[in-house]
Structure 1
Amino acid sequence: MDEELHESEDQRIIPMTSITSRSGEKVANDIYFYTDQIVNIAFIGFPKKDNWVLVDAGLPNAAAEIKAEAEKRFGEDTKPSAIILTHGHFDHVGGLIDLIKEWNVPVYAHELELPYLTGKKSYPEPDTTVEGGLLAKISGVYPNEPINAGEAIKALPDDNSVPGLDGWKWIHTPGHSPGHVSFYREDDATLISGDAFITVRQDSFYNVLMQTSEVNGPPRYLTTDWQAAKDSVKKLADLKIELVIPGHGYVMEGEELRKGLDKLAGEFEQLAVPDYGRYVDH
């Protein structure tokens, strides 16, 4: 199986960081999130237990870092029952191939993401022309070629259940990518939003560095369907979420989160959609 596994052909180290890089925090007894430079990874499962799930796989070359965090939380030689992906962009699957080789566990994503995870199709190129800050302007260096996760990759179940996670369901939240999903636990209204919405302005170098918290739409330079992105934000706002672990930015909760998300949903065109860019429908 290892022979068919490969990284994207344009994989490269991304020289970006934040003040929360290489730090983690417990946000529930069974949820721990960790920041790899500028992107969040979630570990779901109780400490020192064998049954846990990894959500997303960070930036390129993140595998060793993820494995070390997993062993600190769950014990030596641990491995998850599954890896689940919000989507397949480079900053969410950077350590995936090495983790598959190390752990030999199944990986689940929405069926519409599978072409980008099996070497068949590249994502659209990042939009360096989009309205936004410095990180949008340099987004041409971000990888967009597909990885190939081989036989490990599987489609999420049609019934919206999440393998290995009782009480959670996946919600299709496209816009940022065709098969983007978010993961929701109704019992405590906890959401892992991926990039459907985030809590930092991701195209601003300063805001990313300092992790300035505010509810934002998906990263502008990689979002290709703004109407679908708007519909996804509205769908998530209707859930009245209590706590969110976003793909980028810090955890938010309570009234601040709900007010920010309601405002984003109600004023999406003004707050999230750029005035110009390759993927903006004029």
Structure 2
Amino acid sequence: MIEHIRTSNVKRFTGFGALYDGSRPTAPQEVIQILTAYLGRKPQTVVDVGCGTGLSSFLWIDDADQIIGVEPSDDMRAVAVAKWEAMDKPASLIFQNGLSHELGLPSGSADIVTCSQSFHWMEPQSTLREFARILRPGGVFAAYDCDWPPVIDWQIEQQYLKLTTLGDQRAVELAPEHEQAHKWKKDEHLKQIEASGLFRYAREIVFHNWESCDANRYVNLALSQGSLQTALKLGAKELESEAAEFRELVEKAFAGEERSILFGYRMRIGIV
């Protein structure tokens, strides 16, 4: 059963790597500041699991000796590798295929393991056992996620939620049961870390980050949600009219200008 879920979860991110990379937020510098503070030094090795297009891996390029981005989706990983190649292939950063519960890395080889908006796609307890195995004593695991939608305007946010909720519903209705993706609850991440018994300290940290955004990017933030993309691929044509209505509302509000939007973040950490 778990293997079916893992396969479906990986397949969910096929076909929209470029859209995802061009619209999703880059992890803020607070991530580095918080995790380096808990580690107590510059990390030698950071392993970014479920790294997608590398938005959360490139973040560490000047702040860790080695970064390993692990991503099972070929489409997502291809975008990350293309960006890495465009940077002249920095030796400190590599991307590899892998699943969270069997990373294939040596025991005690990592200082920090991160999951940026990805831990909810992983079976938590087998994943946490693998993370604890590869972390050095005193090493830090961090799962961090941003809240959706980003703060901008209540009417835009309301329409965003309407669109993505419909995408969730139609994805469930149209996908065969054995192909449906499964998400574990984000608000139970801390409980999962504590229940594993593998970490001597665990807590939740809340922070935020302002970013500049134009209308097209804000619309694409909604369109880059996996359930919406799944429903569209499965033929939910009614979502196209809802998306067009959402775009019209956003473009009217932005009026051709960039605006500041607020991403709220929730990080759950465990220290081995």
TM-score scaled by structure 2? 0.34
- Structure 1 or 2, whichever has the larger Rg, is 2
TM-score scaled by structure 1? 0.33
Structure with the higher helix share, 1 or 2: 2
Q: RCO greater where, 1 or 2, for CA within 8 Å and sep 6 or more?
A: 2
